[in-house]
A and B are shown apart, each in its own frame.
Chain A
């Protein structure tokens, strides 16, 4: 094993889909496994690859990690909850 290669750390995040996105993907949540370090953007890419309906999701959706809005370059950790949020329309 070459010493220059970092050993990838496996992680699983819970991904949640809401409103129109849940309809497009056909589910409200999924467990996504990936290697750390990884970002919210990596999670989005993986979701769009793994779930046929998810290809209709935007490449850069609004997202939240652990109940707080997060940018796509934010790091995720094992056990995080990553939510993909359609444009907010409350009130």
Chain B
């Protein structure tokens, strides 16, 4: 199983992976590259990762989720490389017999990704500068050789 890709994410493919006639609810989460009021001037974000650990950590994380919601089925992909504003960097699909499990499992996975999965992002700004983004979402560190 690989949870990483450098290609645009396909929601249809993820939904197909979790679909079942016994499921009544499917929840989709997309995390997208933002150029919001706090950022201003973001053209794209370059995502990098400790790829071997990402694969291992997603395996552990999804095993944890299966322990909490045994009836749910969950699929996830994280995209790496340069992703333009508006495109998705992560997609999660969680399906379950009932909607509450689907919502809860989907939320659990994205929150655990933020906490556990070793991925980093560097803002590529329209003025040509590059800034590493800190976990709170605000860039704080300018590389010395941009």
Contact = CB atoms under 8 A, between A and B. Distances in A.
Interface stretch (A3-11, A14-22, A38-46): A14-22
Interface residues of B, number: 31
Contact of A91 (B31, B53, B57, B143): B31
B132 A90 contact: no
Contacts of B120: 18-20, 86, 88-90
28 contacts: A16-B50, A18-B48, A18-B120, A19-B48, A19-B120, A19-B132, A20-B120, A23-B144, A23-B145, A64-B50, A67-B56, A68-B56, A69-B116, A83-B50, A86-B120, A88-B115, A88-B118, A88-B135, A89-B119, A90-B49, A90-B90, A90-B113, A90-B117, A90-B119, A91-B31, A91-B113, A91-B114, A91-B119
Interface of B: 31, 47-50, 52-53, 56-57, 78, 89-90, 110, 113-122, 132-135, 141, 143-145
